[in-house]
Amino acid sequence: MKRIILFILACTTIYATKINDVANIVGVRENQIIGYSLVVGLNKTGDGTTSKFTLQSISNMLKAMNIDMNPIDIKSKNVAAVVVTAKLGSFSRQGDKFDVLVSSIGDAKSLEGGTLLMTPLKGVDGKIYALAQGALSIGGKNSRGATSESHATAGLVFNGGIVEREITIDLYNQEYVTLSLKESSFKNCVSVQKSINNFYNTQVAVAMDPRTVKMKKPEHKSMIEFLAEVQEIEMDYNPNSKIIINERTGTIIAGVDIEVKPVIMTHGDITIKIKEHTDSNNPAGSLIVDSDLVIGLNENEVYMQEGTTTVANLVRSLQKLGATPKDIISILEAMKSAGSITAELKVI
């Protein structure tokens, strides 16, 4: 016997949030930096002789210390070649410290117990912005106290990076500044504009496109004071509805108010009927389980009351009927293709 699921349509919600949560200040951002170096002090778990670049790097390092050594003669397995990456925070100043990520690029078995040698970290322009050095922390111990193999060839050096060159951002002397919304939306962009102008009771913000709001600071405030206030202003936020699906793990993430439009579909032995609410009376012989869900005496039928047809309710009901994650994902993808779900469906 086929299982039938009956739903009634629901509506969406507008949220109040701070501008700081939905928009960034253009120019105020992190910058990626990268470097190449060696990790030493490994217990015979470093790169082997097949990693020629590691041997050459060791030779070059020794030569800089007035020790002439042919790479062919180097047999040490206590050294590994690594790439060092980090994010240089906005307004970082000389002497500021930050964490760096160290990842093996050779055939090293583990970086546990190693020490990163001094590493120049460069930006995309080729200039050195920071230096990194220090002991690695691998972490990720398993139940037997051993380091997880999936994390053994990468680790962190906590506070191992130090800023040497600053990236200057002159906000104080600027008269204009631009906000960039994290997600493109005409409605949210206009909402930001209105919220700012209502707060100052004058025209200081103009929406330029679905993501850009240009602002002019009031004459009686500094740019820093102005931005501090703007970030705390509340606005009406219309979130872009998304459904995130991880096909590998079967995980489904969706907002509680994503509406499912009328549709009739069959997947295997499951038949789903979603229709407009026309009668407030419950199906005959039904048993009320909670405020949202009504399950008929026939275990293969599920009825939804008025105002509860959302992806969240759909998924929950399918799970109660014993549908597998693979079945649920297939149903959601089919509904998206049919136009019953208008929210963005992202498969990762």
7 found inside a domain: no
**pLDDT at residue 301, rounded to an integer:** 52
Q: Please give the pLDDT value at position 152.
A: 86
* 100-114, 207-221, 291-305: least confident range: 291-305
Q: Hunting for tokens 């929950």 — which residue is that?
A: 316
Instruction: Tell whether 220 and 202 lie within a shared domain.
Output: yes
Can you give the pLDDT at residue 42?
93
Contact 121, 132 (CB under 8 A): yes
Checking if the pLDDT of 65 tops 50, the result is: yes
288 domain-assigned: yes
How large is the average pLDDT for residues 178-206? 94
- Give dist(CA 332, CA 318) in Å, integer: 11
Beta-strand runs (E) in 232-307: 234-237, 242-246, 251-254, 263-267, 270-274, 287-288, 293-295, 301-304
More confident residue, 139 or 184: 184
Domain count, the chain: 3
Compute φ and ψ for 225, nearest 5 degrees: -65, -40
- Residues 6 or more apart whose CB falls under 8 angstroms from that of 94 comprise 163, 164, 165, 166
Residue 296 has pLDDT above 90, yes or no: no
Same structural domain for residues 249 and 282? Answer: yes
Flag whether 79 is in a domain.
Answer: yes
For CA atoms 290, 293, 298, 299, the dihedral sign is negative
Both 250 and 338 in one domain: the answer is yes
CATH of the domain at 228: 3.90.1150
Q: How many Cβ atoms sit within 10 Å of the Cβ of residue 152?
A: 18
- In terms of domains, do 216 and 282 share one? no
Residue whose C-alpha is closest to residue 239's, from 292, 184, 167, 281: 184
Beta bridge partners of 18: 234
pLDDT (average), residues 11-38: 86
Query: What is the C-alpha separation between 342 and 258, in angstroms, rounded?
Result: 9
Mean of the pLDDT values across residues 60-64?
88
Q: Which of the two residues, 25 and 334, has the higher pLDDT score?
A: 25
pLDDT at 140: 52
Structural tokens at position 256: 């509680």
Mark which of 237, 263, 278 sits at the end of a domain: 237
Strand stretches in 41-189, DSSP E: 80-88, 97-104, 115-122, 128-135, 154-163, 176-181
Q: Sort residue 73 into left (φ over 0), alpha (ψ -120 to 50) or beta.
A: alpha
Most confidently modeled of 25-39, 50-64, 278-292?
25-39
219 is in which domain, residue-wise? 15-27+170-237
What confidence tens digit (pLDDT) does each residue in 221-259 have?
Answer: 999 999 999 999 999 888 777 788 887 777 777 766 788
206 shares its domain with 259 = no
Whether residues 43 and 153 fall in one domain = yes
Domain boundary among 163, 193, 208: 163
Tokens of 92: 């970082």
9 inside domain: no
Give the separation between CA 111 and CA 323, rounded to whole angstroms. Answer: 44
DSSP 72: G
Distance CA 294, CA 329 (A): 24
Q: List, for residues 91-119, the tens digit of each pLDDT value.
A: 999 999 999 999 999 999 999 999 999 99
333, 325 Cβ separation under 8 angstroms: no
pLDDT above 70: residue 10 = no
pLDDT in tens, 115-147: 999 999 999 999 999 999 999 998 754 433 444
Is 43 in the same domain as 159?
yes
Residue 246: predicted pLDDT:
80
